Amino acid sequence: MEELLNLLREEVPREIESRVPAAHARLTERGRCVQATRVGIETLAYFGIQAEPLVTTMMTGNEDWVRWMLDGQPQPMPDEVWSVGIDPEPRPGRRGYPAHLVIEIDGMLLDLDAGFYARPSKGILLPPTILIPLHERGHGRPIAAEDLEGGGAVVYHDRSHWPSPLPSYRSIGAWKDTAKWAGPVIRRMREAA
C-alpha cells in the first residue's frame, strides 16, 4: 500500500493543479481540497483500499507563528508572524467550503492539497501532500499535527466539534463534479505500477 499511496500523492496534486491552478483558485473559489479528496477517494476505491473523507480545520504557520502560539499569542501580533488556514465559521457571501477536507486511511490523515497553503516567501514550507498519524479525537484537541521544514508547523482539528452547522461537502459542485477526474490518475498509476 505504501507504493500506491506514494503514487497517489504524486498524481492527485498534478491532476488538480492541471485543472484548477493554485493562483486561479486563490482568487476565485475555495474547494480544491474537496476536489483532491474526491479524486483520492475514487482512486483508492478503484484499487480496493477503504478510505473516508474527514472534515477538518487546518492552520499552518512559519517558525515565528509557532513561537507566538507557544507564548500564548501575545498582542499585538508581530509582523514576522505568518499563518494560513481554514476559518471554521461560515460567513454570508463567502465562497467555497468552510472547512478543509482530507482523507482518513488506516489511522492516518492524508491531505492531498496541503501544498495549496504553502507560502515559501513567508517561511511556510508545506509539502504538496501530507500523510501523518491521526491522534485520539477530543473536543478542542488537534487530531493531527506535523513540524515542517524551516521550523513551522501544520495543525488539523476535527471540524465536527465546531458549534456552527456545516453544509455537506457532498452537496457542493467541487465534490459532485470531480469523480471523473480520477480516471487519468488511475491510468497513470496503473502505468507506473
| Helix or strand holding residue 131 (H, E) | strand 130-133
Determine the pLDDT at residue 27: 47
Which contacts (CB < 8 Å, 24+ apart) does range 21-26 have? 22/115, 22/116, 25/116
Angle between helices 2-19 and 182-192 (to 10 degrees): 140
3-state secondary structure of 191: helix
User: Which cell is 83 given?
Assistant: 499563518
pLDDT bucket at 91, cuts 50 / 70 / 90: low
Determine the pLDDT at residue 138: 65
Determine the pLDDT at residue 96: 67
Give the pairing type, strands 142-147 and 153-158. Answer: antiparallel
Quickly name the fold that domain 2-192 has: Atu2299-like (3.10.550)
| pLDDT digit string, tens, across residues 17-51 | 888 776 666 545 568 899 999 999 999 999 999 99
Domain boundaries, the chain: 2-192
Helix, strand, coil share of the chain (percent; to 5): 40, 20, 35
Nearest-angstrom CA–CA distance, 188 and 129: 18
Determine the pLDDT at residue 19: 85
Nearest-angstrom CA–CA distance, 129 and 102: 10
| pLDDT digit string, tens, across residues 111-163 | 999 998 999 999 999 999 999 999 877 666 678 999 999 999 999 988 876 66
Residue 165: count of CB within 10 angstroms of its CB: 6
pTM to 2 decimal places: 0.90
User: Where do runs of H (alpha helix) occur along 47-170?
Assistant: 63-70
pLDDT at residue 88 is higher than 70: no
Q: Report yes or no: 17 and 118 within 8 Å, Cβ to Cβ.
A: no
Least confident of 32-41, 77-86, 156-165, 175-184: 156-165
| Helix or strand holding residue 153 (H, E) | strand 153-158
Mean pLDDT of the chain: 87
